[in-house]
Amino acid sequence: MSEGSEFDIVIIGGGVAGLSAALFAARFGHSTMVIERFAPGGNLVNVESIEDFPGFPNGVPGYELGPLMQEQAAKYGAEFQMAEVESIEAVESSWQVNTAEGIYRAKAVIVATGSHPKDLGVPRERALRGQGVSNCASCDGPLFTDQVVGVVGGGSYALQEALTLVNHASQVILFHDQRTLSAPQTLQQRVLSHPKVSARYNTTVEEIQGDDAVTGAAVRDTLTGEKSQVQLAGMFIYAGLEPNTDFLKNLLRLDHDNRVPTDGWMRTELPGLFAAGDLRTESAGLAITSAGDGAAAAIGAHGYLKDRVWRQK
């Protein structure tokens, strides 16, 4: 694409929210560009089975769902560009999206950049990332064949990843700092009934141990304060998500979690700028709700563009 390429709608992010927005925007007849820095599907490309997305009774791998959604959006005319967005800015009555690959102009922008896994913030975590510390069971699980690994977290993502790890590890220890898990009951039953899984509730990981590779963790019981050591070959961390909104901080108001406040049509406080998916305030953080957000954002953008045309007459 050349410098200053113009579209009706530019969508930043190619996850479920962004791809859903692209499908609806293109079907409305708008020239649509999706800018994504990685593969289509966002974080879900690393999930081996998404079991709560309607239409797939046996689940669907994230690495299949993303390309299918991209293909569907492209069928109706959406275009795609791999690039990282550096900033967006209002220019006259339009938006300018600045990337390393070029500049894109748009009458409306939908931000759907998603989130990334939070760090625990404990000693040796970052030093051992890639040496036993991971956020991707499908990527790194095979490295721990017949070894003991830990999983930090109690939500759906953590439990789905635990089910991936049991295919490789000899034992999966689930560490959760609450007394109950937050994942759906059916998923909890599958995980907790697996003979390779053991759960340690009310337990926080205070340090990941090892020099050149993970050898264990120091943990603490949140009820009694008792500390102990656990021998592990790997630690998979799913302790929440951080929204990818750094490039928006000087543009619009974010909430206390650095998420984007929107209304029901995903409109932000700035005209023509929309946000969808788990980077927005009060998102449920599920694939299906992100898909709904993307559709709503595209419908909202369509209404905005129609109103804009009417005002210009």
Cα separation, 192 vs 199, in Å, equals 7
Active-site residue flag, 136: yes
Active-site residue flag, 212: no
Helix (H) or strand (E) holding 289: helix 287-312
- The catalytically annotated residue of 139, 211, 255, 307 is 139
Helix (H, G, I), strand (E, B) or coil at 158: helix
Where does residue 250 rank: exposed (0-12), middle (13-18), buried (19+ CB within 10 A)?
exposed
Read off the tokens for 45.
């490309």
Task: Specify which residues 111 forms β-bridges with.
Answer: 12, 275
Residue of 194, 201, 193, 195 whose CA lies nearest to 175: 201
| CB environment 24-57: b (16+ within 10 A), e (fewer) | bbbbbebbbbbbbbebbbbbbbbbbebbebeeee
Backbone dihedral angles phi then psi of residue 84, each to the nearest 5 degrees: -105, 125
- The catalytically annotated residue of 52, 136, 177, 221 is 136
Task: Specify which residues 172 forms β-bridges with.
Answer: 149, 197
Where does residue 192 rank: exposed (0-12), middle (13-18), buried (19+ CB within 10 A)?
middle
Residue of 45, 68, 46 whose CA lies nearest to 55: 68
Active-site residue flag, 140: yes
- The catalytically annotated residue of 8, 140, 278, 293 is 140
Helix (H, G, I), strand (E, B) or coil at 181: coil
Asked if residues 138 and 43 have their Cβ atoms less than 8 Å apart, the reply is: no
Catalytic residue numbers read: 136, 139-140
